[in-house]
Amino acid sequence: MIYKNLGNTGLKVSAICLGAMTFTEKGWRSAGSMPFSEIQKVVNYALDSGINFFDTADIYAYGESEELLGKALGAEKNKVIIATKVRGVMDENDPNSRGLSRHHILNSIDNSLKRLGRDYIDLYQVHWWDNHTPIEETIETLNDLVRQGKVRYIGISDFAAWQIVKSVMLQEMKGFSKFVSAQMYYSLLGRDIEFEVVPACEDLGLGILAWSPLAGGFLTGKYSREKAIPEDSRYSRMERPFLRFDMEKAYFVVDELKKLAEKYDATPAQITLSWVISKPFVSSAIIGVRSLEQLKDNIGAVDVKLKEEDLNYLDEITQPEKPYPQWFLEMFADL
């Protein structure tokens, strides 16, 4: 396994983090489900392979994911790094059972700890920005949780760059614990964060945790122009695609991944993940699986060392168009 520091912290996390969005027997949205017996095999194999980093959220199957993750980790659960999140709607009928208010965060942390069967959370993340709560209220509450020992590190997820900068600057001014990581969508088909979020995080010392690095499985090569969408796959469960990308371009990228896979005697999933974890700003790629077989495939990425020329080629064919003011700033950077 490859280990990287989580942002500017001294904490070492495996470059592959196992996401637990699929840890549910009843199913959750398009993520699908897995019987507990398979979850147990997946977690055992992950631990044996050196994965020490697991990501979940309170809203994944409304607590079932946290519960099953804690159960599958068993006696190992205090040795590994567990990240979870707060912000989503836990009870449709309760206007306070959501968001980033002091009320909801303090209730949520205790519920997450109970479900995970732990006394503390390693990385507590705010799932996405809350327009209805002042960020000052949120960061003060998170700071209290760190001081109480219920939380060791705090992070954000799905923030715009200005939201990250505003939050961290306020944390610094107030002498509060600062966000150390940014969990963001990042894949060969979605590199938008490179323009604003990544430079902000690099400047402030936050590590990127790349979610859906396989674009929900699209980059494994199992979807193709020629064949129908495979049954019981993520994309077969979605009414319309959740991640936004151009289909034709995506099929072209998959074709190129297949060629590279042949060259390296690897699989398209391994080539994709190897590219993601090669990025210095990425602390860990958060993968999702629905079977032990998929996990075995994906973990193989740590043994694939892509040559500089192939990394550059993948960069080149997936380069998104530079938005303003990036192209302007680049043009005049040296003046």
Ligand X SMILES: NC(=O)c1ccc[n+]([C@@H]2O[C@H](COP(=O)([O-])OP(=O)(O)OC[C@H]3O[C@@H](n4cnc5c(N)ncnc54)[C@H](OP(=O)(O)O)[C@@H]3O)[C@@H](O)[C@H]2O)c1
| Interface with ligand X, residue 155, by CB under 6 A | no
CA distance 299 to 287: 9
Among 217, 253, 302, 304, binds ligand X (CB under 6 A): 217
Quote the least distance from Cβ 125 to ligand X, whole Å: 7
Question: Is there binding between residue 233 and ligand X (CB under 6 A)?
Answer: yes
Binding of ligand X at residue 130 (CB under 6 A)?
Answer: no
Q: Indicate the residue among 222 and 322 with the shorter CB distance to ligand X.
A: 222
Quick one: which of 14, 15, 19, 59 contacts ligand X (CB under 6 A)?
19
Query: Which one of residues 167, 220, 283, 318 is an interface residue with ligand X (CB under 6 A)?
Result: 220
- The residue count for binding ligand X (CB under 6 A) is 29
Among 108, 133, 141, 157, binds ligand X (CB under 6 A): 157
Interface residue with ligand X among 13, 15, 21, 180 (CB under 6 A) is 21
User: Closest separation between CB of residue 330 and ligand X, Å?
Assistant: 29
Minimum Å gap between C-beta 54 and ligand X is: 8
Q: How far apart are CA 155 and CA 209, in angstroms?
A: 10
Of 6, 13, 15, 20, the one binding ligand X (CB under 6 A) is 20
Nearer to ligand X, 133 or 183 (CB): 183
Least Cβ distance, residue 296 to ligand X (angstroms): 8
Q: Spell out the long-range contacts of 161-168 with Cβ–Cβ below 8 A and sequence spacing 24 or more.
A: 161/196, 161/197, 161/199, 161/200, 163/129, 163/135, 164/197, 164/200, 164/201, 164/204, 164/206, 165/200, 165/204, 166/135, 167/135, 167/138, 167/139, 168/204, 168/206
> Which of 22, 52, 143, 318 is in the footprint of ligand X by CB under 6 A?
22
Closest approach, Cβ 221 to ligand X, in A, equals: 8
| Contacting residues for 334 by C-beta, under 8 A, at least 6 apart | none
Catalytic residue list contains 3? no
Q: Report the phi/psi class of residue 155: left, alpha or beta, with left for phi > 0 and alpha for psi in -120 to 50.
A: beta
The β-bridge relationship of strands 3-5 and 12-14 is antiparallel
In this structure, which long-range contacts are made by residues 317-324, counting pairs with CB atoms below 8 Å and at least 24 apart in sequence? 317/252, 317/253, 317/256, 318/188, 318/189, 318/191, 318/253, 319/191, 320/191, 320/192, 320/194, 320/195, 322/195, 323/195
Query: Hey, which residues are catalytic here?
Result: 60
Which residues of this chain interact with ligand X, rule CB under 6 A? Answer: 19-22, 32, 55, 157-158, 183, 211-217, 220, 222, 233-234, 269, 286-290, 294, 297-298
